[in-house]
Amino acid sequence: MRTVDHGYMPGLDGLRALAVFAVIFYHLNLSWAPGGLLGVTLFFVLSGYLITNILLKQWESTGTIDLKDFWLRRARRLLPAVFVMLAGVMVWMLLFAPERLAALKQEALAAVFYISNWYLIFHQVSYFESFGPPSPLGHLWSLAVEEQFYLLWPLLLGLGLRWIRQRKWLAVGTIALTFASAAAMALIYSPGQDPSRVYYGTDTRAFSLLVGAALAMVWPSGKMTGELTGSKKLLLDGTGALGLLAVLLMILKTNQYQPFLYQGGLLLFSIAAAVLVAVLAHPASSLGRFFSWGPWRWLGECSYGIYLWHYPVIILTNPAVNTGGVDLSRTFWQIGLSIILAVLSRHFIEDPIRYGRRKRGRRRVPALQWWQKPLGVGAKMSLGILLMVLLLFVTPNGGTGISAKAIAQNHETTEQAQGQAQEQAQNQNQAQSQTQTQNQDEQGTQAQGAEQEDNKANGEAIGTEQENEITIIGDSVMINVTPVLQEQFKGIVIDAQLGRQMYQAPEVIAGLREEGKLGKTVVIQLGNNGPFSEKQLKETLDTLPGSTEILLVNTRVPKPWEGEVNETLNKVAQSYPGARLIDWHTVSKGHNDYFYKDGVHLTQTGVEAYGEMLVKALAVGENDY
C-alpha cells in the first residue's frame, strides 16, 4: 500500500477538505457554522504533525536535519501559489479599485515576507477605516503563523534531537511549550475586548502546531502497521469517531467571541483534532478509508489553493452593502470559482515548480529555438518575483486605501452632527433653567396654600421632571439620529460618541448620574464597534437601578460580531426585568438605501427610518419591532 510504503496518508487529505470548507462557510457568514474559523486550527495541527514527521524521518535516516533542503522545499510548495494569488488580486484592484492600492500594497508586502499576522496586530487604522471595505488579503495571517513555525521549529527540533537522547523527554519538552503558549493566550486575552492580539499572535497560536508536533513524536507514521484486528481496531475507530464528533460540535456551536475559546477551548479543540489526525493517519482505520474517498481527497489536495483564493473571491464579489442576507446562488458560484482558480494554480503553477514536468519528445527539445523551450523552475520563480516587484512598487497608489468616499463624507457629517447635538443640548439646558427660574418667580408672586408648599419643594419638582426624561447612550450612528429625536422629545438627553463600545457604558452611566441626566427611560445603542458578553451587558444594566424601562437597540453591521451582539441583546432583553428590544436589524432588512458603503452608518433615508423606529418605540408601552 502507498500508505505504508511511502508514508502517504490519504485520510489526512480528506481532513484538509473538511478544514478548508469550515473556513469557507465561516467567511460566507453562514449562521449554522459560526465556529468555522476552527478550520484554521485543524490546519495548524495537521501541519505540526506532518512537518515534524518529515523532520524526524530525515533525522533517523541521515542523523541530521538538512535545513536548507527543508526551507527550499517549503518555499517551492508555498510561494508560487501565493505570488500568483497576490498578483491576481493586485491586478483586479488596479483595474477596478485603484484607490485601494496604497493600503493593499502594505498588506501584500507583509504577505510576501510572511508577517501578515503581526501586521494585523500592530497596524493602526482609524475608526472609520475599520468600517471600510474588508481587505481581500486578511486571511493570510494563518500562513504567516505556519511559515514562522517552519522557520523556527526545525532549529529547535534539531537542537532537541542532538542534546536529548530519549524521545519521550523531547515529547515532554514539546508538551511544556504547548501549555506555555496556551497559557499566554489565556493570560493576554481580556474577556469582552477585541481578541485580535491572541487570535493572530504566533506565540499565542503556536500550541496547535506543537500539539501536532508532539503527536508525531509519539505516533510516527513509519511505525504504524495495517494489521490491526478485533478490539484494537474497534477502539481505534471509536476514538476517531469521538474526535470527529468533538471537532464538528465545536465548529457548529462556538464562535470567535466566546471567552471559552481563548481560556482553553482552542487547546481542547487542538487535542481533539490531534486524536482525529492520529486515527486518520493509521492505515488500519475505517474512518481513514472514509476520509480517503476520491472526490473528498482530491479537494483536500487542492485545499491550499482553495484557501488562498476563496477569501479574495468572496470579498471582491460581495456587494458593498447587503441587507438581504445570504444569497445561495452567489455562495455556490463563489465556492465554485475558488475551486477552479485553485485547480488552475495547482496545474499550471504549483505542481510544475514543485515536481517539474516530464517532457515528452526529449529528442526534439534541443532542436527548438530558445523562445520555444519551456521555462525552467528558476526562470518561473524569477518571473514571479519580478511580477510582484512591479505590482508592489511600480503600480500607482491611486489613493489612500479607502474606496468608500461616502464614509469620509459621513465622518465629517457625523462630527458636525455631534457638535450640533452638543450645542442643542446646551441650549435646551439653558432654556430649561430659564423656564424653571421664571416658574419660581411666578410661583413666588402667587404664593398661596399648596402652591407655596410646591414652590418650597422646587428641587423635588425638578427631580420629577428629570425622572420623566429619556436618556440615550450610543455610538456614531446615534449622533446622526440626534436631531430627529430632539425634535420629538423635549428634554431628551443623548450621549453618543464615535467608536464607543459596551465596556465603556458603565463609566458613561456613572457620569450621567452624577450630572443628574440619567432619565427614567434609558436607551442603549451599542454593539456596532465590537462584541460584548452577556455578563458584561447585565453588569451594565445593573448600574441602572433607578430606571424603570431599558430599551436595547440591536445592530446591522457587516462584521463577524453582528450575530453575536444581536443574540446577546435578544437574550438579555427577554430575561432582564424592565428591558425590551428594538430590532433595527429587522427594520433595515432589504433596505440597502439606508446605509453608506460601509454598511453601518446611515444615509439621510436611513436616519429618518432609524429615528421613526425609535420614536415609535419610545411613544408606546410595547415594542412592535
Does residue 558 carry a pLDDT above 60? yes
Query: Within 10 Å of residue 332's Cβ, how many Cβ atoms?
Result: 10
| pLDDT (tens digit per residue) in 531-555 | 898 999 999 999 998 778 999 999 9
Check whether 53 has a pLDDT greater than 50: yes
Lowest mean pLDDT of 1-5, 180-184, 373-377, 387-391, name the range: 1-5
Structure confidence by residue, pLDDT tens digits, 475-529: 999 999 999 999 999 889 999 998 899 999 999 999 999 999 998 899 999 999 8
Same domain, 429 and 389: no
- Considering the domain architecture, whether residues 50 and 13 belong to the same structural domain is answered as yes
pLDDT for 492: 93
pLDDT band at residue 612 under the 50/70/90 scheme:
very high
Please identify every residue annotated as catalytic.
476, 598, 601
pLDDT band, very low/low/confident/very high, at 414 (cuts 50, 70, 90): very low
Identify the three-state secondary structure at position 409. Answer: helix
Do 261 and 299 belong to one domain?
A: yes
Closest CA to 356 of 376, 340, 336, 342: 376
**Percent of the chain surpassing pLDDT 70:** 78
The reported pLDDT for the residue numbered 103 is 78
Residues 553, 557, 563, 564: what is their CA dihedral angle, to the nearest 10 degrees? Answer: -70
Contact predicate 307/40, CB 8 Å: no
- H/E element holding 550? strand 549-553
- Tell me the residue type at 387: L
Per-residue pLDDT at 349? 84
Segments in 457-558 forming alpha helices (H) = 458-467, 476-488, 505-514, 534-541
In a domain, 339, yes or no: no
Task: Clarify whether residues 216 and 288 are in a common domain.
Answer: yes
pLDDT reported for residue 130: 61
Residue identified by cell 519528445 is 361
Q: Clarify whether residues 284 and 415 are in a common domain.
A: no
Residue 338 in domain: no
Q: At 450, is the pLDDT very low, low, confident or very high (cuts 50, 70, 90)?
A: very low
- At residue 596, does pLDDT exceed 60? yes
Sorting pLDDT into bands at 50, 70 and 90, what band is 355?
confident
pLDDT confidence bin for 417, thresholds 50/70/90: very low
394/414 Cα distance (integer angstroms): 37
Do 369 and 438 lie in one domain? The reply is: no
- pLDDT of res. 447: 42
529 near 556, Cβ under 8 Å? no
pLDDT of residue 386: 59
**Is 9 inside any structural domain?**
yes
**Helix H or strand E segment including 474:** strand 470-474
For residue 512, what are the CA distances in angstroms to 301, 428, 507, 509, 603? 59, 16, 9, 5, 29
42 and 123 housed in the same domain? yes
Domain assignment of residue 343, yes or no: no
| Whether residue 550 sits in one domain with residue 424 | yes
Q: Are residues 379 and 435 in the same domain?
A: no
Q: Are 244 and 15 in contact (CB under 8 A)?
A: no
Mean pLDDT of 185-191: 92
The mean pLDDT of 267-290, rounded to a whole number, is 95
The pTM is what?
0.82
Q: Which residue has the higher pLDDT, 436 or 522?
A: 522
In 3D space, the residue among 287, 292, 277, 283 whose CA is nearest the CA of residue 227 turns out to be 283
| Count of the separate structural domains present in the chain | 2
Q: Quick one: average pLDDT of 14-43?
A: 95
- The residue-averaged pLDDT of 6-17 equals 86
Q: What is the DSSP letter of 284?
A: T
Query: What is the extent of the structural domain holding 176?
Result: 2-320+365-397
Q: What is residue 360's predicted lDDT score, i.e. its pLDDT?
A: 44
Report if residue 254 sits inside a domain.
yes
Of 128-137, 168-177, 276-285, 390-399, the range with the lowest mean pLDDT is 390-399
The answer to whether 322 touches 150, Cβ cutoff 8 Å, is no
Contact yes or no for 614/481 (Cβ under 8 A):
yes
The mean pLDDT value of the chain amounts to 83
Radius of gyration of the chain (CA): 30
The larger pLDDT score, comparing residue 416 to residue 79, is at 79
Q: Does 535 lie in the same domain as 439? A: yes
The H or E element that residue 582 is part of is: strand 579-582
Residue type, 334: Q
- DSSP letter at 472 equals E
Query: The domain that contains 594 carries what CATH number?
Result: 3.40.50.1110
Q: Model confidence at 379, in pLDDT bands (50, 70, 90)?
A: low
The answer as to whether 349 is a domain residue is no
Which tens digit of pLDDT belongs to each residue from 83-137? 999 999 999 998 988 888 887 888 999 999 999 999 988 875 444 456 667 889 9
**346 in a domain, yes or no?**
no
pLDDT beyond 80 at 418: no
439 and 523 housed in the same domain: yes
Residue 450 lies in a domain: no
Q: Do 99 and 153 fall into the same domain? A: yes
